[in-house]
């Protein structure tokens, strides 16, 4: 039986802006997104016994609540293979509930794997379309690299690649519910927004420092008692030599960009004394 292995790369928000609420209840987003080398490992095997999944983490559901299972079902439906079956093995390394899109990355990896197993039957464009119906961040995770995401987060345009760098990611010991934070945001008047155009220009000119100093996430401005931990991690990352630091997505992970590997390693080490979930990663230019 043929198996295809795929890396499900985590995504980070270099910037995250919310510009309005839509009639469908979702929010209008403007985000600069980046894939990083911290990843889950996905293996997909075709079978005739329906869609089944396993995961190394016992608390992760392996039924249709799992976006990877949902993705496989959507793939087979879209490809006209309604009786198709697959076994999906998920080995998670991306912390759950961190704002790094682990579930979305797994779903995207399943779409890529299934399309490889079917000789490119749907192709990239169709996969990205299908991905958007699974979750707002799944389309980005299919494409990867550096991109501007608008709409619900599913409309993508490729950006010049982030200059090579080291990323230190630290997740405090709590998770933040995405729908809850979006709800809280509705009652807040946002006063500051990221300079998205400035970030795009800095990417164009290849300046990591100019990108890093503009990193901004409006969710950090939503009052939440847990956000003091976010501020502390950001300050530590900056003190330890990060060119910029910001929370990713709806949190709770925070990351800093470094142009120096030794400083990044030292920062991970120092933060690792206080936080269990600390990682060092690299930018991934394309998936």
Catalytic residue positions, numbered: 11, 137
| Euclidean distance between CA atoms 138 and 261, whole angstroms | 30
Structure tokens at 55: 């995961």
| Euclidean distance between CA atoms 155 and 136, whole angstroms | 9
E-assigned strand segments in the chain? 3-21, 27-47, 51-55, 85-91, 146-151, 155-158, 166-171, 216-217, 244-247, 254-258, 277-282
Site for ligand C5P in 212-271 (CB under 6 A): none
Give the nearest distance from C-beta 34 to ligand C5P in angstroms: 18
Query: b/e map of 212-247 (b: 16 or more CB within 10 Å)?
Result: bbbbbbbbbbbebeebebbeebbebbeebbbbbbbb
Span from 23-31, 105-113, 226-234, 264-272 in contact with ligand C5P (CB under 6 A): 23-31
| Euclidean distance between CA atoms 107 and 101, whole angstroms | 10
Q: Which residues contact 176 (CB under 8 A, 6 or more apart)?
A: 97, 99, 224, 226, 250, 251, 252
Give the nearest distance from C-beta 108 to ligand C5P in angstroms: 12
E-assigned strand segments in 116-208? 146-151, 155-158, 166-171
Span from 22-30, 46-54, 112-120, 199-207 in contact with ligand C5P (CB under 6 A): 22-30
Options 26, 62, 201, 259; binder of ligand C5P; rule CB under 6 A? 26
Closer by beta carbon to ligand C5P, 26 or else 207:
26
Structure-token match 């600069």, residue found? 32
Give the nearest distance from C-beta 134 to ligand C5P in angstroms: 8
Closer by beta carbon to ligand C5P, 128 or else 137:
137
With beta carbons less than 8 A apart as the criterion, state whether 199 and 12 touch.
no
Closer by beta carbon to ligand C5P, 110 or else 240:
110
Q: How many CA atoms lie within 13 A of 43 on its CB side?
A: 9
| Euclidean distance between CA atoms 277 and 281, whole angstroms | 13
Options 179, 187, 189, 225; binder of ligand C5P; rule CB under 6 A? 179
Q: Give the nearest residue (CB) to ligand C5P.
A: 136
Give the nearest distance from C-beta 192 to ligand C5P in angstroms: 19
Span from 21-29, 71-79, 115-123, 268-276 in contact with ligand C5P (CB under 6 A): 21-29
Bridge pairing between strands 254-258 and 244-247: antiparallel
Give the nearest distance from C-beta 238 to ligand C5P in angstroms: 29
Closer by beta carbon to ligand C5P, 95 or else 135:
135
Site for ligand C5P in 53-112 (CB under 6 A): none
Options 29, 141, 142, 254; binder of ligand C5P; rule CB under 6 A? 29
Give the nearest distance from C-beta 208 to ligand C5P in angstroms: 28
Site for ligand C5P in 115-174 (CB under 6 A): 135-137, 152-153
Structure-token match 């016992």, residue found? 58
Closer by beta carbon to ligand C5P, 185 or else 270:
185
Instruction: Write out the residues near ligand C5P by the rule CB under 6 A.
Output: 26-27, 29, 135-137, 152-153, 178-179, 182
């Amino acid at each position: 039986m043929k198996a295809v292995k795929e890396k499900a790369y985590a995504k980070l928000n270099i910037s995250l802006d919310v510009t309005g609420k839509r009639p469908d209840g979702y929010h209008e987003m403007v985000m600069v997104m980046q894939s990083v080398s911290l990843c889950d490992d996905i293996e997909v095997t075709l079978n005739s016994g329906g869609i089944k999944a396993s995961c190394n983490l016992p608390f992760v559901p392996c039924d249709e609540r799992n976006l990877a299972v949902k993705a496989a079902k959507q793939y087979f439906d879209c490809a006209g293979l309604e009786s198709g079956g697959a076994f999906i093995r998920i080995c998670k390394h991306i912390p759950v509930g961190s704002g790094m899109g682990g579930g979305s990355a797994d779903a995207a990896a399943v779409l890529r794997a299934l399309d490889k197993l079917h000789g490119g039957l749907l192709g990239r464009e169709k996969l990205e379309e299908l991905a958007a119906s699974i979750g707002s961040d799944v389309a980005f995770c299919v494409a990867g690299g550096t991109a501007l995401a608008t709409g619900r987060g599913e409309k993508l345009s490729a950006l010049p690649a982030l200059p090579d760098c080291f990323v230190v990611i630290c997740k405090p010991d709590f998770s933040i519910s995405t729908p809850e934070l979006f709800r809280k945001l509705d009652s807040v008047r946002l006063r500051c927004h990221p300079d998205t155009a400035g970030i795009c220009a800095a990417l164009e000119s290849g300046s990591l420092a100019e990108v890093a100093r503009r990193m901004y996430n409006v969710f950090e401005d939503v009052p939440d008692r847990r956000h003091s931990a976010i501020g502390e991690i950001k300050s530590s990352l900056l003190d330890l030599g990060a060119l910029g630091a910001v929370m990713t997505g709806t949190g709770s992970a925070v990351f800093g960009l470094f142009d120096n590997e030794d400083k990044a390693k030292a920062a991970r080490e120092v933060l690792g004394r206080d936080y269990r979930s600390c990682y060092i990663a690299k930018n991934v230019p394309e998936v």
